[in-house]
Amino acid sequence: MISTDSDPTNPGEDGRTHHLDVYERRWMIASVALLVVFAASVAVAGFGLGFQVPGHESRVDPNTVADSPPWNNPGLRDLGNGEYEVYVIGRQYLFEPNEIRVPVGATVTFYVTSVDVQHGFKLQDTNINMQIVPGHISKLTRTFEKAGEFPYICNEYCGLGHASMAGSLIVEAQGG
Amino acid sequence: MLTQPRTYQLDTSQKRFISYHLVIAVIALTVGSIFGPLQSFNWGGLDLYQFLEPIGLGDYYKGLTLHGVLNALVWTTFFITGFLTLTTIVGLGRPLKHPRLNWAGFITMAVGLVMAGIPILAGWASVLYTFYPPLEAHWGFYLGLTLVVVGSWIEGYGFYLTYYQWRKENPDTRTPFITFGGLITMVMWQLATIGVAVEILTMLLPFSLGLLDGTDPQLGRTFFWFTGHPLVYFWLLPAYISWYGLLPREAGGKLFSDSAARLAFWLFLLLSIPVGFHHQFVDPGIPNSWKLIHATLTYGVAFPSLLTLFTVVASLEYAGRKRGGTGLFGWIRALPWHKPSVSAQLLAGILFMFGGIGGITNASYNVNLVVHNTAWIPGHFHLTVATAATLSYMGISYWLVPYLTGKPLWKPKLAVAQTWFWFVGMLIFSNAMHVLGLLGAPRRTDLNSAPYVPEEWSGHLLRVSIGGAILLIGVILYVLIVYKTARGKDHLPEGEEIEVPIAESITDPQLTPMWLDRWRPWLVGSVALIILAYGPQLAQQISNAQFTSPGFTP
Ligand code: HEM
Ligand SMILES: [Cu+2]
Ligand SMILES: [Cu+2]
């Protein structure tokens, strides 16, 4: 990959006159190939297959966001056809609501914001994991195929009471 | 082949100047490291903070702030500036052009450290070493950190002026490798720290002084991570300087490829900075297309690390075979594992391979959803900053402290044991942390008082404590050995001087093409890439900034 301006009358100790060794050159090519494959894979998984990270949603004023709909009444909204939205507010040191119940098969879109400092929102055993930044809304969607309890915990340090900040999503068996 | 000139010898005042850096670095590591084991015991269910309550250190998060700041910022920055002073002077074979300027830089750093330390100890700055707004610390904390950074810049100017003089006198000579690596490290650092400097000076300092009522937390994060990722290369590159430029000599060999080593350093300058969004994959305020661009560039910066793997291993293999090692792996055994400095750096390198694999995982865009802010992340960076960098610095100090003090290393065999304590402790600790992260355990959390810890985690939490206890022995031994060496009564026998172990290259460095020793194209390229990768999105965030978030003290 690199041109050489080496001096053949002045070989290195191992007889090399090029400043790059042949194995070194092959290693470089293999490394680049590997990294290109990685980059392509995540791009396809993210933008092609929809395994997405939370994107740019919308801005709010953290001082007033909790005064008007939908944030003045955080919690679950049933949109019909098994689709749900849930609005969660993070504040030092609790989530509102701290319990959410949905039926098996529900597709839930989580909207989360903070009214004070940064928090985290991690729904255990799932890939719902979002940074909660005051002034922004974080959003991710997931379908719940199995019944069970999924704790959601704050995973960004938010002050001295941070360790107690958690809630629980309960996925209920059909008809239960 | 050039005949190796006798290495330039430092005089007493130069040695003392470098030693002062190390003294502060080691004190910071000592104090900072007390909290690491405390945290790990807390996770395992043994909460010792109650006993520290009487001396005002009973709070987990005050301790965690001290741990992060003292270890990741102070131990590293002071060690690195001291070490780079050495690589500049010894590499170029001349004294600093303006020693007073470097002294001014050092004093600025020390003043900053005191200024930041007081509010942390008083409990007015329990905001952790990332100080995400709108958590608000006392202004002294922000100003102190700024002074530490500015002081390191000033020391850097001293290096540049010294180099400039040398270059004028030696226009066609390749810059000696250790100096070259040191200068790139410093330039990269100065470009990188612009982010956090802007964050502190335009947002956090006025905010904490009450001049601004609110702040924009998302913008603050973006500025922070502009600096935050290259920060990890600031920690690593000095270790790389040693792995490429010193370790081969210590191991009895030579640097395998001067060109590849230089190319790697330039690529680190080029690619360390425009990748910060990989720490913000799950942030709400950044479009996903920009995140993907930074993810791709992050794979780019993995390239020079892979190159480093090849060149360093090849250099070591050369050394091992020269020492009589044969076969596919025989050369590994033939390396001088009995030398503490070598053992430290070899073990650091081995753990760093796992660190590198973990790093690529973290950088993998949507895969980050699995690990973001979980215990996996500290599991990862205790392999990088707390091992690849820290254990290498420890290894460096095993020849550097004798070199600076003229005294033999105290109990070299114990020093070898120390490196193994660190290795084994870290292997257990970090493996457990990685597993816990995959199980969902959060980082930065007083887990002993968290209500949601399932039974499933407990075995791994215990392993975190066990690893922490072994690491504690590792720290105590290190500090003891350095202290006993420096305070020892014996001096090195007459005529037996320690030399800085500068490795020769197998190929004559003059064979390395000149474009690998030219600053302008690489500097222009770095700035251009930063502007492309950050410019549009940063402009967007700045123009949409809303300084509406009021401050909260933790
Ligand atoms: C004595 C051995 C050490 C042990 C047992 C240890 C243990 C720990 C533990 C358990 C945590 C996680 C705490 C939490 O997330 O709640 C942590 C965090 C951290 N450690 Fe260490 N550590 C050690 C040495 C070091 C060293 C040498 C460095 C750097 C040079 C370092 C840098 C950090 C940083 C930057 C954090 C993250 C702080 C934060 O999240 O704000 N540690 N350490
Ligand atoms: Cu929290
Ligand atoms: Cu990074």
- Digit-coded pLDDT (tens) for B146-196: 999 999 999 999 999 999 999 999 998 999 999 999 999 999 999 999 999
Please list every residue in chain A whose beta carbon sits closer than 8 Å to the beta carbon of residue B507.
Answer: 12-13, 16, 19
Measured distance CA(A154)–CA(B178) in Å, rounded: 45
**Which residues constitute the domain of residue B273?**
12-543
Mean pLDDT of B65-69: 97
CB-nearest to B303 from A35, A139, A164 is A35
User: Is B215 within 8 Å of B134 (Cβ atoms)?
Assistant: yes
Please tell me what DSSP assigns to residue B546.
-
Provide the annotated active-site residues of B: 229, 233, 380-382, 443-444
Q: List, as ranges, residues 89-118 from A with C-beta within 8 Å of B.
A: 92, 116-118
**B144 within a domain of the structure (yes/no):** yes
Please check whether residue B1 lies inside any domain of the structure: no
Angstrom distance (rounded) from CA B159 to CA B101: 10
For residue B65, the SS3 value is: helix
φ, ψ of residue B165 to 5 degrees: the values are -60, -45
Segment B310-332 mean pLDDT: 94
Top residue of A1, A23, A42, A52 to mutate, by most chain B CBs within 10 Å, is A42
For the stretch A27-81, pLDDT in tens is 999 999 999 998 888 888 888 887 888 877 789 999 999 999 999 999 999 999 9
At residue A112, does pLDDT exceed 80? yes
A152, β-bridge pairs: A123, A167
pLDDT for residue A174:
78
**B451-460 pLDDT, tens digit each:** 999 999 999 9
CA-based radius of gyration for chain B: 23
Question: Cα–Cα distances in Å, from B275 out to B14, B389, B496?
Answer: 37, 20, 47
Residue range B497-513: average pLDDT?
Answer: 90
The contacts of residue B534 (CB under 8 Å, 6+ apart) are B226, B274, B276
pLDDT value at A8 more than 80: no
The conformational region for residue B8 under phi > 0 = left, psi -120 to 50 = alpha, else beta, is beta
What whole-number distance in Å separates Cα of residue B118 and Cα of residue B337?
42
Distance, CA of B502 to CA of B3 (rounded, Å): 13
Q: What is the DSSP string of B309-339?
A: HHHHHHHHHHHHHHTT--HHHHHHHHS-TTS
Nearest-by-CA chain B residue for A28: B307
What residue owns the CA closest to ligand 1's atom 21? B36
Specify the pLDDT at position A1. Answer: 32
Taking the C-alpha atoms of residue B443 and residue B148, their distance in angstroms, rounded to an integer, is 27
Cα–Cα dist A10/B507, whole Å: 9
**Has residue B192 been placed in a domain?**
yes
pLDDT of residue A17: 53
Q: Does B411 touch chain A (CB under 8 A)?
A: no
B76-117: per-residue pLDDT in tens? 999 999 999 999 999 999 999 999 999 999 999 999 999 999
Confidence of residue B139 (pLDDT cuts 50, 70, 90): very high
Residue written as tokens 């610095």?
B393
Which of A155, A158, A169 to probe by mutation at the B interface, max B CB count within 10 Å?
A155
- Whether residue B259 lies inside any domain: the answer is yes
pLDDT digits (tens, 9 = 90+) for B394-447: 999 999 999 999 999 999 999 999 999 999 999 999 999 999 999 999 999 999
Among the bound ligands, the one closest to the CA of B389 = 1
Q: Does A127 touch chain B (CB under 8 A)?
A: yes
Cis-peptide into B99, omega within 30 deg? no
Preceding amide of A97 cis, omega within 30: yes
Average pLDDT of span B524-535: 97
> How many angstroms separate the alpha carbon of residue B357 from the centre of ligand 1?
20
Q: Which ligand is nearest to the CA of B224?
A: 3
**pLDDT band per the 50, 70, 90 thresholds, residue B2:** very low
pLDDT at A175: 61
Structural domain total, chain B: 1
Strands A166-172 and A99-103: parallel
Token pair 């068996």: residue = A173
Q: How confident is the model at residue A16 (pLDDT cuts 50, 70, 90)?
A: low
The beta strands (E) that lie in B242-372 are given as: none
Q: What is the pLDDT of residues A151-165, one digit of tens each?
A: 999 999 999 999 999
Residue A173 has pLDDT above 50, yes or no: yes
Residues B68 and B145 sit within 8 Å (Cβ to Cβ): no
On whether residue B285 sits in a domain, the answer given is yes
Q: Is the pLDDT of residue A2 over 60?
A: no
> pLDDT at residue B528 above 90?
yes
By CB neighbour count within 10 A (0-12 exposed, 13-18 middle, 19+ buried), where does B536 fall?
A: exposed
Confidence band (pLDDT; 50, 70, 90) for A7?
very low
Taking residues B129-155, what's their average pLDDT? 97
> Is the CB of residue B478 below 6 angstroms from any atom belonging to ligand 1?
no
CB contact A133 to B (< 8 Å): yes
Beta carbons of B353 and B346 less than 8 angstroms apart: no
Upstream peptide bond of B157 is cis (omega within 30 degrees of 0): no
B548: in domain:
no
Which one-letter amino acid corresponds to residue A131? Answer: Q
> What's the pLDDT at B365?
84
User: pTM higher than 0.90 for the full model?
Assistant: yes
Q: Examine the pLDDT at A15 and tell me if it is beyond 80.
A: no
CATH of the domain at B57: 1.20.210.10
**What stretch of H or E contains A114?**
strand A107-114
Task: Answer yes or no: do B374 and A122 touch at CB < 8 A.
Answer: yes
Q: Which residues of A touch B257 (CB under 8 A)?
A: 19-21, 24
Under 8 Å CB pairs connecting chains A and B tally to: 228
A20, A120, A124: residue with CB nearest B257: A20
Alpha-carbon dihedral angle through residues B38, B43, B45, B48, given to the nearest 10 degrees: 20
Is the CB of B64 within 6 Å of ligand 1? yes
Burial label for B320, CB within 10 Å (0-12, 13-18, 19+), is buried
Interchain CB contact of B442 with A (< 8 Å): yes
Distance CA B104, CA B95 (A): 16
Q: Which residues of B297-308 are buried (b: 16+ CB within 10 A; e: fewer)?
A: bbbbbbbbbbbb
Q: How far is CA A83 from CA A73, A119, A157, B43, in A?
A: 19, 26, 32, 39
The residues near B516 (Cβ < 8 Å, ≥ 6 apart) are: B259, B262, B263, B266
Interface of A with B in 20-79 (CB under 8 A): 20-21, 23-24, 27-28, 31-32, 35-36, 38-39, 42-43, 45-47, 51-57, 59, 61-63
The angle formed by the CA atoms of residues A157, A163 and A167, to the nearest 5 degrees, is 105
Does any domain span residue B551?
Answer: no
Average pLDDT of the residues of chain A:
88
Q: Could you tell me if A161 lies within 8 Å of chain B, comparing CB atoms? A: no
Residue B131 φ/ψ region, left for φ over 0, alpha for ψ in the -120 to 50 degree band, beta for the rest: left
The Å distance, Cα B282 to ligand 3 centre, comes to 14
CA B338 → CA B288, B414, B424, distances in Å?
Answer: 50, 10, 17
pLDDT tens for residues B333-381? 999 999 999 999 999 999 999 999 999 889 888 889 999 999 999 999 9
CB pair distance less than 8 Å for A156 and B132: yes
